[in-house]
Amino acid sequence: MTGETPMRRNRCAKILATLGPATSTEGTLEALIRAGADIVRLNFSHGSFEDHRRRYDLVRSVERKLNRPIGVLMDLQGPKLRVGSFVGGKIKLETGNHFQLDMDPELGTLERVRLPHPEIFRAVSVGTDLLLDDGRLRLRVESIAENVLITRVIVGGVLSDKKGLNVPNAVLPISALTEKDRRDLVFGLDLGVDWVALSFVQRPEDVEEARTLIGGRAGIISKLEKPSAIEHLNEIIDLSDAIMVARGDLGVEVPPERVPILQKRVLQACQQAGKPVVVATQMLESMVQAPTPTRAEASDVATAIYDGADAVMLSAETAVGQFPVEAVAIMDKIIQQVENDDYYQRLRDNRRETPEGTAADAIAAAASQVAQTIGAAVIVAYTSSGSTPLRVARQRPSVPILCLTARQRIARRMAIVWGIHSTVVGRDISSFSEMVEMATDRVLTEGFADIGERIVVTAGVPFGTSGTTNTLRIAWVEGKDGPWAE
């Protein structure tokens, strides 16, 4: 990469910003990154391939200018369950009345509407609740015939054309990947995205299917938005590279009072597994139209950081909002305030995970402890696959983590992980002395240490072999005579 001196964040948690009409020029995108965005999201529920390609190219242009690896996440739409259209465009469902869902293609009336999803008829049973229009309306199934559901309106209201439908207490026999998703996935992987966010995950098999199609070309973020996914939480975490708490859809399918509890449960499970976790949806929602957030929204962001989130996400705030750069800037300020709080630091130290019985975890835990004991300025993790900095980040060290890699795609992927600042080096290394020399040179260049300070260096030997974190060195950053290792 070429360009100006790399930017360094003064925080550990990352910011994921969604691109859209409000952030589709190079100037705005550059301002977004300078304000604090670490990774950007392309939402494939909206826009054309041409739109996404143009935004991707803008990201890479800004990346070269700022000399900072920027991750790109493609968010697949997933299956969208919707009712059909109505005569006149809408009806009003009265609480207590019966209402029929069927496969008849005729326009809907006050008595019935088309439901073009045969899987739902097979998956529900008498007593199942169906939610319409993001949970604003509720129907309860009273009888089932072939491709016909007779329901009673539990919560009524206006229902218009093609509104969404949720079935919170049923596992639907459909893939998380639609034909549209498969086409989008081919396009996104060829484009070079770093992460793929998988929607509508119900069971571990959904992640396995995506992993087969992706073939290691990008990391997989499983979006937890279905109650059935929570039931298989640990299995889905194991199969995923990262997790997203998609609170919007999750909040439709579970009672709202359960969402904060599930959020904390997911964050804890991800930290134990050493998998990055993103908290998403409506974090600064009022900033779509206002230049400042509500106090409740600021508290929501802060809570996610106190709970240990790797990243927090902005959706409409930066995609279509009137104040996209301001939204990123205030989120950056909130994170910095929290991470400078003594209470946060005590939580971070108390939350530090017990190392697993592997050489990689032993080295990662030792690096964190040694850095704190000797007052090191930074932990340098050299990696070819990303596994070394990930294991170090799991320990939530009290000093920054500088990731050195010869692979640009790994540097970009690490942009979502807590505490990691990535930089691309020009070559692979082959010896301890070369590793220490490169580390001390980069910590000076990137502003992580001064001459006379000590650093902790970790890597895997043989160099270039994935998942072999087994080496730790302490180096003193010297001036004239170069570094020496202890």
| Domains of the chain listed by start with CATH number | 14-78+176-341 (3.20.20.60), 90-166 (2.40.33.10), 352-485 (3.40.1380.20)
Burial class (CB within 10 angstroms; exposed 0-12, middle 13-18, buried 19+) of 215:
exposed
Separation between Cα atoms, residue 160 and residue 415, nearest integer Å: 41
Q: Does position 151 have pLDDT exceeding 60, yes or no?
A: yes
Separation between Cα atoms, residue 485 and residue 436, nearest integer Å: 7
State residue 479's pLDDT score. 61
Lowest mean pLDDT among 168-172, 206-210, 477-481: 477-481
- Annotated catalytic residue, options 82, 140, 180, 352: 82
The pLDDT tens digits for 174-199 are 999 999 999 999 999 999 999 999 99
Catalytic residue status for 471 = no
Query: Which residue in 258, 206, 304 sits closest to 196, CA to CA?
Result: 206
The pLDDT tens digits for 38-57 are 999 999 999 999 999 999 99
The pLDDT tens digits for 366-402 are 999 999 999 999 999 999 889 999 999 999 999 999 9
Q: Which residues pair with 155 in a beta bridge?
A: 138
Which residue is associated with the tokens 């930017």?
7
Q: What average pLDDT is seen over the chain?
A: 93
3-state SS, residue 105: coil
State residue 470's pLDDT score. 80
Contact 398, 418 (CB under 8 A): no
Q: Is the dihedral of CA 300, 302, 306, 307 positive or negative?
A: positive
Separation between Cα atoms, residue 199 and residue 207, nearest integer Å: 10
pLDDT band at residue 436, thresholds of 50, 70 and 90?
confident
H or E, element range at 222: strand 219-224
Q: Does position 261 have pLDDT exceeding 70, yes or no?
A: yes
Contact 45, 77 (CB under 8 A): yes
What token pair was written down for 289? 């139209």
Contact 404, 385 (CB under 8 A): no
The pLDDT tens digits for 62-72 are 999 999 999 99
State residue 480's pLDDT score. 47
For residue 178, which phi and psi values (nearest 5 degrees)?
-85, 175
3-state SS, residue 83: coil
Q: Does position 466 have pLDDT exceeding 70, yes or no?
A: no
Separation between Cα atoms, residue 433 and residue 361, nearest integer Å: 23
Q: Does position 358 have pLDDT exceeding 80, yes or no?
A: yes
In the chain the first and final C-alpha atoms are separated, in Å, by: 32
Query: Which residue in 182, 227, 228 sits closest to 203, CA to CA?
Result: 228
Strand pairing of 469-476 and 454-460?
antiparallel
Q: Does position 152 have pLDDT exceeding 80, yes or no?
A: yes
Query: Which residue in 122, 415, 42 sits closest to 242, CA to CA?
Result: 415
Separation between Cα atoms, residue 39 and residue 222, nearest integer Å: 17
Range 163-172 average pLDDT? 90
For residue 26, which phi and psi values (nearest 5 degrees)?
-65, -40
Catalytic residue status for 41 = yes
Catalytic residue status for 396 = no
What token pair was written down for 474? 């302490």
State residue 465's pLDDT score. 64
Catalytic residue status for 14 = no
State residue 49's pLDDT score. 97
State residue 467's pLDDT score. 62
Range 280-305 average pLDDT? 97
Separation between Cα atoms, residue 285 and residue 313, nearest integer Å: 11
- Annotated catalytic residue, options 11, 14, 41, 247: 41
- Annotated catalytic residue, options 223, 409, 412, 413: 223
Half-sphere CA count of 438, side-chain side, radius 13 A: 25
State residue 3's pLDDT score. 55
State residue 177's pLDDT score. 96
Q: Does position 482 have pLDDT exceeding 60, yes or no?
A: no
State residue 107's pLDDT score. 97
Query: Which residue in 169, 185, 178, 173 sits closest to 73, CA to CA?
Result: 185
Displacement of CA 435 from its chain's centroid (Å): 31
- Annotated catalytic residue, options 23, 128, 281, 405: 281
Query: Which residue in 244, 177, 251, 159 sits closest to 214, CA to CA?
Result: 177
